[in-house]
Structures are given as structure tokens and as C-alpha cells.
Structure 1
Amino acid sequence: MSEEEKTAEVAAVEETEAAPAGKKARKKWPIVVGVVVAVLVVAGAGFWVWHEQPSFCNAICHTPMDPYLPTYEATPGEPATDKWGNELETASGMLAAVHRADESSDITCMGCHVPTLSEQIGEGISWVTGNYEVMATQAGMHVVPEKSLEDLVAARGIEPDQFCLNEGCHNMTRDDLIKATEGMARNPHVPQHGEVACGDCHKAHRASVNYCSSCHNDAEIPEGWISAADDKKLVKELESMNK
């Protein structure tokens, strides 16, 4: 066998031996890609679940959201601190705490604050760029300005009452509310002075307010709630700090 023939034979053998290795290497790529995709899917699912938990708001947007999480974690009947840093004798008037403590409900932040995609994108951009408004509190913290129900539902295009009165929360109408509280000495849901927004009385992250006490000095103040006069005082103090 000539030298050239030997060289050709050796090259052929080497090529034959290398071929399976190449095939094996190529076969690994689908596995690697599959593993990466699986990891991304699991991580994405985990992030989405966390995204719906109160701790997400507190961890990601800590500057304006730090004061809110404790109001959700507070226990009705026990002392607490509201979002403005005010000490409360009981958290029973903060609806965030009341709803969390309700064993028949598994509501979280996202249960009330149902964002649209455009709203989330807008909030994300505002957070990254720092283009958002905050107010200083008595406790030296910063919170976002208090929003009305109109503000909270604007992106969803629904009526303000539907923030609370919906199938996922209080599945009733205003008339149903009137019937539910008709046994009270002064029915707070009868619009005898014009309709009052739910949020004028019911507060999630601070003590709820008995709006009737604006005029009626004998209006009963429920446990954990405050009078309209005390509410005005708190709001005025906060506004004076942020002039």
C-alpha cells in the first residue's frame, strides 16, 4: 500500500470515528434548549405568583409602598399603624386588615387593585424613571397621594362602586346595602343627602371614617373608625407637611 493510500485510509477512519461524536454533540442542543425553556417557564410562573402577593409591592416599589404592607398584615382588634404613620388602638377600621383576616376570603392586594396591562406598563415606567408623586408622612415615610375610587377604576373603565360592589367581593347593589343596614338607628346607606362614595367612609390602609358625623354629632363611631372631624384634622396635617 502506497504512502498516499495509507494517509487516505487513516483520514477515513478518523472521519468515521469523529462522526458519532458530532452527532452526539448535535443531539445535546435540543436537551439544553429544553432545559433552558423549562427553567424560564418555572421562573416566570413563580414570579407571576409572587407578583400577586403583597410582599411583591413592598419589595419592588419599596419607597412609596413600605407603609402599606403593615396595614394589610395588621390584626383587627389589635394596635396598628396606618399608612400615614398614625398609631391606632385597633386595626378594625382598616379594610385591608379586615379583608385579610376574613377566613372566608383569600383576597390579596390584586384582589382589589386589579390592574390593566397598560396601567402596569405605565406604573413600571414611572417607577424606573422616578416619575411618580409621593407625600411625606408624620413618620418620615413617603406614600403615594390618596386616590379616590374614580382614580382606582379609571383604567378599567368601570363605575367607582364596582371597585367594591362586584361578584368577586361584595356581590350586591346599593339597594341591597340599604336593606342590610336598615336595622341601624341611622341607616348610613340611605342617600338622604345625596349619594356618598364608598371610599368616603371605608378606608383600606387607614382608619375608616363615619361620614355621617360631619353633621350628626351623635353619630356612632364604630370600633377602629374615626369621626369626620378627626379625619379632616389628619388630612390637614398631612397637607401642611407637603406644601
Structure 2
Amino acid sequence: MIFKNLKASSAILNKAKELGASLAGIAAVKDLKSAPSFTFAPQMPNAGKGVGTRENDLGLKPGEVLWPENAKSIFVIAVFHPEDKPEMDWWFGRVDPPGNRVLAKICRELCSWIEDNFSIKTVHLPYHVEKGGTYLKDSAVMAGLGCIGKNNILVTPEYGPRVRLRAIALDADLPSTGPRQFNPCADCEEFCRKACPQKAFDHVLYSKEDYGQQILPGRDGSFSRPVCNGQMELDINTAQEEEAEGFDSPVKIIKYCRRCESACPVGKPVKAK
């Protein structure tokens, strides 16, 4: 059984890359249940509220994750989001960002391929936790894709924080591919925090004594989601109608802030002196 699962794991990882994933990895559900976001989010003030959340119609408590029946492994894929293609993350009216559509297509095709070739049941997880999704950043960390940076987002060795994530639940106990030893933030000058227009990292809000865990938002408990949300609300309110490919008339395009992401030097080509 171990050899069979190793073989399946290797084949699925390779197939994900073939379908367009830039990075891919596997995390065990049993490990994720004690990962930082999964334990902190249900305790967080205003959990389940703010830009990007959805109505909870599954009977979940705020911040709670609903695991698919018999899910044993979470397969995480990442797609590189180059800085010169900001439109990958733009909302065109109510249409999903192009990057999300790329990720969804990879997941759909990979789910079909896994079930056809290995008889492993899959669930393409929704993006939103309130709709049955998972905490993608922590899942990616436990799958070995990178670490959570001081900007409170995933930082990968290959692309820094410039990736977009999706996940699939599997009913097979596949070997985990992480976490990995990677900490580029240790001696960093905190370019990400300095770039934040709303100063979302200026004050420590959460402590290990109050929440019973060492790893907190922004690593040290300084990331304020409500303050960050304020910038996202501003981005929505100031969005303009523009001409866009594939639309017959101008459409309102929301361009969410990515300053902390763009400021991170990790994964950027080293410039010749």
C-alpha cells in the first residue's frame, strides 16, 4: 500500500505540472487540523466577515472548516502570478479573475484524471472557507510549497508571494511533501510591511498568551485583517469602468492591492550589477 501511494503521489504531482501548475504539494488532513490558521481563525474577532468572505449556509461556526467525508489528503496547486500580468487577479464585474479560472480548470482536469487512473475519490474544494473550502496558505505550507511571511501571505522559494492557490481533497492517505525548512523573512528589512498603504502591521493585536499558539497573523500577531480589509473596500469603491477584452461594453474592474506582495524580494530575478 505504501509503495502504491508513493507511486500515485509522484504521478499526480507530475500531472499537475503537466496541466499547468507552477507548484504542487500534498498535506495530510490530520496535520492541517492543528495548523495555525485552522486553530486561530475560529477564535479570531470578526471571523467570517470582511471582503472576500461569503454567506455561511453550511451551518459552520465562524472560521470553522468543513472537511469532505473521508478526506485524508489535501492536494495544493499554485500558479505563478507574474507582476507584468496584474489582470490575473482583477475582477471584471462579477466575473471571476482570470487566474482563478486557470486554477479551476487545472483542478477539474486533475480530479478527473486522478479518479480515472487511481480510483481515488476527489473533491475540488471551493475557494471560500464558508462554502466548504480550506485555509489555502496553511495547506500550502504543510504541503511544502513555502512559508507564511511577515506579510501574512504564502512566500515560496521559486516565486516569492506571487502565486495563486487552489486545493483538492483526496480520500487516499498520500505521503506529505512538507513542510520544508524555509525562512526568508528572518533577516529581511520588512519591505512588505513598509509598503502597506494602510499600515496593517503597525500594532501587535494578538498574543500567544491570549490565543494559546506561537504562530499568529503576520507571524507575531501584528497583521490586522480589518485594516487590510479597509484597503480592499477602498479598491472596490474606487474601481473604474474600462474597456476590456471579451466584453462588449466597459466593465467595472476591481484591482485589489498587492503592494506587500510586489515589495517582497523573494523569488525575483537577481539584477546584474
In proportion to residue count, which structure has more strand? Answer: 2
TM-score when normalising by structure 1: 0.29
State the structure with bigger RCO (CA 8 A, min sep 6), 1 or 2. 2
TM-score (norm 2): 0.27
Higher helix fraction: Structure 1 or Structure 2?
A: 1
User: Which of 1 and 2 has greater Rg?
Assistant: 1
